[in-house]
Amino acid sequence: MISVKSKSELEKMRKAGIIAGNALHFGGQSIKAGMTTYELDKIIENYIVKNGAKPSFKGYGGFPAAACISINDQVIHGIPSKKVRIQEGDIVSIDVGAYIDGFHGDTAYTFAVGKISEDAQRLLRVTEESLYKGIEQAIAGNRIGDVGHAIEEHCTAFGYGVVRKYIGHGVGRNLHESPEVPNYGKPGHGPRLVAGMTIAIEPMINAVGEDVKVLPDGWTVLTKSGSLSAHFEHTVAVTPDGPVLLTKPTL
């Protein structure tokens, strides 16, 4: 069942969303070549906890850290590690959730570390653009397929692979709720969007090919082709006034 949130529930979700968005922004600002992904995760976790929230991902399905940190050919769910050092030229996807007052906010961004290749710059730009094209379709009366189609159409026009195995989702009292929000779809198909629905829209886009594989750690998802991959995400409320970003940072 798809839950519809009241105005006061949406306010609570905005509170969770701001903490998640600010933690992500703060984490991104803190990235330095040479630091470990463990150190970066701790900076993000401390920010969340200091602001009275809990990291949504820590312990979720046994995930051991506050943030998923996925570098270069890693798509999503990278486990922060003392053994992984961020390097100049990397692209670093950070995915963060914050839980407070009974609700979650979920958001992701792929950061460039220093100077990155033109191909990498284009992948980041197009993937972020596709997120906003999806968000534009998160309008009451539209359907989930309209969101996915907008993302897919934009990314495939650049020859990129739209990951199909992992998708966006409803978010609220639970980190993952109905409906499923794929980054592909047919216009006019899928569940209808109504005001009060809150969804995490999160394109995961590979430079080459849609196929992915999972590392033996059981979490880290990589591109099968070995190409770079980017990930951008916002928690979005469908409202009578159009889509509202709940995870927009205020820092």
In the complex, the smallest distance separating the C-beta of residue 128 from Mg ion, rounded to whole angstroms, is 16
Number of residues located near Mg ion, criterion CB under 5 A? 2
Q: Where are the alpha helices (DSSP H) in the chain?
A: 7-30, 37-50, 118-136, 144-156
Identity of the residue, 235 or 239, whose beta carbon is nearer to Mg ion in the bound complex: 235
Q: Which amino acid is at 63?
A: F
Least Å distance between CB 169 and Mg ion?
Answer: 6
Rule CB under 5 A: choose which of 9, 41, 45, 106 binds Mg ion. 106
Which span (84-92, 99-107, 112-120, 235-243) binds Mg ion, by CB under 5 A? 99-107
Interacting positions 176-215 with Mg ion (CB under 5 A):
200
Taking the least distance from each CB to Mg ion, the nearer of 56 and 142 is 56
Q: Which of residues 131 and 200 has its CB atom nearest to Mg ion in the complex? A: 200
Contacts (Cβ under 8 Å, ≥6 apart) of 62: none
Q: Residues near 94 by Cβ (< 8 Å), separated by ≥ 6?
A: 24, 27, 28, 40, 44, 67, 68, 69, 108, 109, 110, 111
CB of 51 to Mg ion, least distance (A): 20
String of b and e for 192-211 (b: at least 16 CB within 10 Å)? ebebbbbbbbbbbbbbbebe
Q: How far is the CB of 172 from Mg ion (least distance, A)?
A: 12
Q: State the residues that interact with Mg ion by CB under 5 A.
A: 106, 200
